[in-house]
């Protein structure tokens, strides 16, 4: 980080201007600490005319428009179908869409919208569904139409039939680099990745494959709920960290797993390995050597190890391969549409589990008394509860079993998920995906330009976030004496507090993700391009101030 001159000569280099008890703030999740930082940034905006830049959230500031436009056009068609079966306009009442001939009627409707991007997309989507995926035209179109109306419970409750097949094809393309493993993944459509996490933790405990006091491994640094949920009283799980800790010669982290860390998974007391891949906040995918090591370790030494992989950032890495593609029988896949499609408000996600999987095997091996207790739990929804797959137990548990008949993600949400998936499948040149990648890569370059640091290429980097470890960088480029001086006089949270107070810049503290104490995570997704050079300059200013304090302190001594 370049340490050239800065104009502000305030004598308090890092800490905030007023007294905030950092020891208390350390108790908060970064996403809760964010509220305090926003208050400080608001004050900076009022008193220093520093426009607030909140780079603390991962919500992208772009959206995928074509599948949204198609959603609304399907809604228009669906209402036309509703009124064709029963129409009382004076009271605003319609009927339920009917299947016979509905594909022909949709084509005729789309012919009246020749100039519409959405109509062209829907025409191609219908063709893809019927020719490539082998759908019956009327059955496919009726599912889309009825989903738009939202007049039925989701049937099947786990996921609509055609929606599951479309999403499975999408995951094969994006999470498996077009090379899915043999067999198929069964999917459960859920209310985003956060719902997937909540459902999985609960059902793994309910079905006794995890129990209080068991040990799980976490690939750290990691999205904070994976750190917080195991500590809750109802779970009370022990955790072992598998740390991404490889350093580069430039004094930065590569956020890769050393072999010695992955070897921790050989310990038979570890029941499961939870990983965000590509990482958050590290923002890189695993290198091939690590994937190969993990595959060999599971197959030869830990065939009973459960892997939970959260792959929301997979589309931002060329040639990405999920653990679900590499180790399908051991992996529970979580995927959210929120980041790639700019759809955090839609709450769209899926849980995927291979039809032959380790969780079902572990349940079948439980002691007889525990299996009998589970049979009683699920006995009201099937005559053969002992044969109920874990993916279907997830669905039942999501509605406290008794409400299983009304489980499932709302059908309009499943329609939008299907249209997002079809949009990606029909984008043969991956134009949208490449554009999304370029957005964040350009912003990362601008951030580094603002800091005055050269940016080394890394094909495994998503660039969705950048976690900056000021301790490691300063130790390499300024010197260990400087780092020791700062650490003796300041709290690690002073970095993000000072950025908010002085510059109106909100970043999340890396320590909250179990990352390096003196680090901060920058979201490269949620602000306009011109914000990132300023964020880089603000970080540079923090370092320059600390260096001045160090030199001044040294002279006084």
Q: How confident is the model over 73-93, as pLDDT tens digits?
A: 999 999 999 999 999 999 999
pLDDT range class, residue 555, cuts 50, 70, 90:
very low
Task: Please tell me the total number of residues recorded for the chain in this structure.
Answer: 557
Q: For residue 489, count CB atoms less than 10 angstroms from its CB and return exposed for 0-12, middle for 13-18, buried for 19 or more.
A: middle
Q: Could you tell me what percent of the chain has a pLDDT over 70?
A: 94
Give ∠ CA 481-485-489 in degrees, rounded to 5.
Answer: 170
Going by C-alpha positions, the residue among 284, 335, 310 that lies closest to residue 173 is: 335
Q: Determine the Cα–Cα distance for residues 260 and 301; give it in Å rounded to an integer.
A: 15
The arithmetic mean of pLDDT across residues 160-165, rounded, is: 98
Which of left, alpha, beta for 182 (phi over 0: left; psi -120 to 50: alpha)?
beta
pLDDT band at 14 (very low <50, low <70, confident <90, very high): low
pTM passes above 0.85: yes
Distance (Å) of CA 234 to CA 27, 134, 206, 428: 20, 45, 11, 46
Mean pLDDT (whole number) for 486-491 = 90
pLDDT one-digit tens code per residue, 266-287: 999 999 999 999 999 999 999 9
pLDDT of residue 469: 92
Stretch 83-111: mean pLDDT: 97
Look at residue 497 and tell me whether its pLDDT is greater than 50: yes
Q: CA-CA distance, 308 to 271, in Å (whole number)?
A: 11
Task: Select the more confidently predicted residue: 48 or 373.
Answer: 373
Which residues lie below 8 Å from residue 192, measured CB to CB, with a gap of 6+? Answer: 336, 338, 344, 346, 347, 348, 349
Confidence band for 383, pLDDT divided at 50, 70 and 90: very high
- The pLDDT assigned to 9 comes to 36
- Omega within 30 of 0 (cis) for the link into 221: yes
Q: Tell me which residue of 383, 332, 341, 322 sits closest to 362, measured CA to CA.
A: 332
Neighbour count for residue 221 (Cβ, 10 Å): 28
Using pLDDT thresholds of 50, 70 and 90, give the confidence band for residue 23: low
The span from the CA of 348 to the CA of 418, in Å, is: 10
DSSP for 528-556, please give it.
Answer: -TTHHHHHHHHHHHHHHHHHHHHHHHHHH
Tens digit of each residue's pLDDT (9 = 90 or more) over 132-162: 999 999 999 999 999 999 999 999 999 999 9
Question: What pLDDT sits at residue 551?
Answer: 86
The predicted model gives 222-226 an average pLDDT of: 94
Rounded to the nearest 10 degrees, what angle do helices 66-85 and 411-426 cross at? Answer: 130
Q: What band does 173 get if pLDDT is binned at 50, 70 and 90?
A: very high
Catalogue the long-range contacts made by 401-408 (C-beta closer than 8 Å, 24 or more residues apart): 401/377, 404/157, 405/153, 405/157, 405/381, 406/153, 406/157, 407/154, 407/157, 407/158, 408/153, 408/154, 408/155, 408/156, 408/157, 408/158, 408/159, 408/189
173: left (phi over 0), alpha (psi -120 to 50) or beta: alpha
Q: Where are the alpha helices (DSSP H) in 150-221?
A: 161-174, 192-206
Task: Record the tokens describing residue 105, joined without a space.
Answer: 């009627």
Task: Compute the 3-state secondary structure of the chain and give helix, strand, coil in percent, each to the nearest 5.
Answer: 50, 10, 40
pLDDT at 20 over 60: no
What integer pLDDT is reported at residue 556 of this predicted model?
A: 35
Domains of the chain: 22-58+431-556 (3.90.1150.10), 66-149 (1.10.20.110), 181-392 (3.40.640.10)
Both tokens of residue 186?
Answer: 């069964």
Q: How many CA atoms lie within 13 A of 95 on its CB side?
A: 10
- pLDDT tier at 42 (50, 70, 90 boundaries)? confident
Closest CA to 535 of 522, 519, 516: 522
H helices of 188-254, in order, are 192-206, 225-228
Weakest-pLDDT range from 33-37, 209-213, 251-255, 552-556: 552-556
pLDDT band at 1 (very low <50, low <70, confident <90, very high): low
Q: How confident is the model at residue 253 (pLDDT cuts 50, 70, 90)?
A: confident
Sheet containing 349-354: order of strands = 185-190, 349-354, 331-336, 306-310, 270-276, 215-220, 238-243
């Amino acid at each position: 980080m370049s340490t050239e001159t800065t104009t502000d000569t305030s004598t308090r280099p890092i800490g905030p201007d007023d007294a905030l008890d950092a020891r208390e703030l350390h108790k908060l999740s970064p996403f809760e600490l964010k509220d305090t930082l926003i208050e400080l940034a608001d004050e900076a905006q009022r008193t220093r005319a520093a426009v607030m830049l909140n780079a603390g959230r991962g919500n992208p500031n772009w959206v995928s428009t074509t599948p949204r436009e198609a959603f609304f056009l399907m809604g228009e068609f669906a209402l036309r179908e509703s009124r064709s079966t029963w129409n009382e306009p004076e009271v605003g009442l319609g009927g339920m869409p009917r299947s016979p001939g509905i594909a022909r009627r949709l084509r005729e409707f789309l012919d009246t919208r020749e100039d519409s991007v959405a109509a062209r997309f829907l025409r191609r989507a219908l063709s893809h569904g019927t020719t490539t995926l082998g759908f019956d035209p009327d059955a496919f179109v009726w599912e889309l139409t009825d989903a738009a109306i939202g007049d039925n419970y989701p049937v099947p409750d786990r996921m609509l039939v055609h929606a599951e097949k479309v999403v499975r094809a999408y995951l094969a393309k994006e999470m498996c680099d077009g090379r899915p493993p043999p067999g198929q993944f069964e999917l459960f459509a859920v209310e985003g990745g956060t719902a997937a996490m909540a459902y999985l933790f609960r059902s793994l405990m309910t079905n006794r494959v995890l129990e209080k006091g068991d040990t799980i491994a976490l690939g750290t640094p990691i999205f904070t709920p994976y750190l917080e949920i195991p500590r809750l009283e109802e779970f009370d799980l022990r955790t072992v960290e598998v740390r991404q800790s490889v350093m580069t010669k430039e004094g930065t982290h590569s956020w890769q797993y050393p072999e010695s860390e992955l070897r921790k998974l050989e310990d038979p007391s570890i029941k499961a390995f939870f990983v965000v891949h590509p990482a958050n906040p590290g923002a890189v995918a695993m290198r091939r050597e690590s994937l190969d090591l993990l595959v060999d370790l599971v197959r030869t030494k830990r065939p009973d190890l459960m892997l939970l992989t959260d792959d929301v950032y997979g589309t931002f890495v060329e040639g990405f391969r999920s653990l679900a593609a590499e180790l399908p029988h051991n992996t529970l896949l979580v995927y959210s549409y929120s980041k790639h499609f700019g759809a955090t408000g839609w709450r769209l996600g899926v849980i995927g589990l291979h039809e032959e999987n380790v969780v079902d095997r572990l349940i079948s091996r439980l002691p007889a008394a525990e299996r009998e207790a589970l049979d009683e739990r699920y006995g009201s929804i099937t005559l053969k509860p002992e044969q109920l797959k874990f993916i279907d137990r997830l669905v039942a548990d999501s509605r406290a079993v008794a409400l299983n008949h009304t489980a499932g993600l709302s059908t309009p949400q499943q329609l939008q998920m299907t249209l997002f998936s079809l949009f990606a499948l029909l984008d043969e040149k991956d134009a949208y995906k490449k554009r999304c990648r370029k957005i964040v890569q350009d912003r990362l370059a601008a951030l580094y330009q603002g800091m005055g640091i050269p940016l080394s290429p890394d094909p495994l980097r998503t660039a969705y976030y950048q976690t900056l470890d000021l301790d490691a960088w300063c130790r390499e480029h300024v010197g260990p004496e400087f780092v020791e001086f700062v650490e003796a006089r300041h709290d690690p949270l002073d970095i993000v507090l000072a950025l908010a107070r002085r510059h109106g810049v909100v970043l999340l503290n890396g320590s909250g993700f179990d990352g390096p104490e003196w680090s901060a995570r920058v979201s490269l997704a949620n602000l306009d391009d011109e914000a990132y050079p300023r964020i880089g300059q603000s970080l540079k200013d923090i370092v320059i101030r600390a260096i001045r304090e160090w030199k001044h302190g040294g002279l006084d001594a």
